[in-house]
Amino acid sequence: MSSLNLDDFTDLIERPDGGVRRDAEARRERQIVPPGALGRLDELGEWLAAAQSAVPVRPIEHPRAVLFAGDHGVAGLGVSARPAGTADQLVRAVLEGASPAAVLARRLGVPVRVVDMALDCDPQELPAEVAGHRVRRGSGRIDVEDALTLEEAEAAFLAGVAVADEEADSGTDLVVLGDVSVGGTTAAAVLVAALCGTDASVVTGRGGRPIDDLAWMRKCAAVRDALRRARPVLGDQLQLLAVVGGADLAAMTGFLLQSAVRKMPVILDGVVSAACALVGQRVAFRAPDWWLAGQNSGEPAQAKALDRMALEPLLDHGVTVGEGAGALLALPLVQAAAALSAELPETPTPEPEPETDPETDPETEVSDQNE
């Protein structure tokens, strides 16, 4: 039995400041560009004002990409285009600056933090700051066994909470959240199917590196079998993450919820972060108000999860590579919204017409003389 009470997050998480948002809307109506002319940038600016509890909006000066990493045993079924147990190679590419996310982050000036939760490699092979939160080596094969023990799920969740606290305490003002995993999209599809009450085929996509039809059918079967194991524990979100999630997904869920507690906005990347956000919504219904959907990856489970949370993606580029790459592409849009909201001048208030005294008004005097 876990000692962690997720219900506490319901009381701890508040919505972004509605009064401040109304002030931001009023300020926007006074600016020289007509309201609505900037499209979703208006909405983003007002959302940021509420999240920051500040009008005008402060610029996004300290964003950070946080990537949770792990291997999933279900990848051994051939449900991924990558061999099982090779997520550590993806992590090394990020650390060496050779991955898509690393290139984008470097271009945008965003530091990247990778957190190993369950990579299938010797932790000594990775920097200590990467492997310091690891819970176990790989997650279980969710179609036939639990991904984690309940104690491991709790440890992973609390690791995510701790990482969120570290980021908030260090001054991070916006997080780009992503995953580095092999088999993670299969676990994500199971979580979304379980929480939305849908069948495996409705949520099963092709993954980060698109798989062929045969691999897709294997993935559907794995999701179906894992879904049978997930349904009996739907009432306990930590147990759900233990049964069909994984250490990286449990950590991301804890990170998302604690970020909302700390009032630190988060941009979600793809299907894995969306699935964790959906679990977080089930824990605390106000939490999604602190999150943005960075992009539409084209994964059906992501679309299902975002629709359930009423989050509309900022971009629709179909980026499936993971690692937060799609969300990084959305970051300049959010920064632009902040700049426009804060820096556009207001329309000058017209000078009132001076009141005239009929006794001293020259026109009145001329009129009197003519009479």
Please give the pLDDT value at position 318: 87
Domain assignment present for 20: no
DSSP codes, 157-207: HHHHHHHHHHHHHTT--EEEEEEEEESHHHHHHHHHHHHHT--HHHH---T
| Residue numbers of the domain that contains 220 | 62-332
pLDDT tens readout for residues 289-305: 999 999 999 999 999 99
Q: Angle 184-196/247-261 helices, nearest 10 degrees?
A: 60
Average pLDDT over residues 196-203: 94
Domain assignment present for 172: yes
Q: Which pTM value belongs to this model?
A: 0.92
Domain assignment present for 96: yes
Q: How many domains are contained in the chain?
A: 1
Distance CA 245, CA 64 (A): 25
Q: Decide if pLDDT at 345 tops 70.
A: yes
Cis before 56 (ω within 30): yes
Q: Using alpha carbons, select from 207, 158, 151, 200 the residue that is nearest to residue 184.
A: 207
Q: Which residue has the higher pLDDT, 210 or 281?
A: 281
Q: Which of these is catalytic: 25, 151, 323, 346?
A: 323
pLDDT band at 334 (very low <50, low <70, confident <90, very high): very high
Distance CA 63, CA 4 (A): 30
Average pLDDT over residues 247-255: 98
Domain assignment present for 34: no
DSSP codes, 90-159: HHHHHHTT-SHHHHHHHHHT--EEEEEEE-SS-GGGS-HHHHTT---SSB--TTTS-SS-HHHHHHHHHH
Domain assignment present for 233: yes
Tokens of 124: 């000594």
Q: Decide if pLDDT at 221 tops 60.
A: yes
CATH number at residue 70: 3.40.50.10210
Question: For 176-185, 247-256, 316-325, which range has the lowest pLDDT when averaged over its residues?
Answer: 316-325
Q: What is the mean pLDDT of the chain?
A: 93
Question: Does the active-site annotation cover 61?
Answer: no
Please give the pLDDT value at position 352: 67
Domain assignment present for 44: no
Average pLDDT over residues 24-37: 91
pLDDT tens readout for residues 111-141: 999 999 999 999 999 999 999 999 999 999 9
Under 8 Å between Cβ of 68 and 255? yes
Average pLDDT over residues 266-290: 97
Please give the pLDDT value at position 360: 57
Please give the pLDDT value at position 35: 86
pLDDT tens readout for residues 85-121: 999 999 999 999 999 999 999 999 999 999 999 999 9
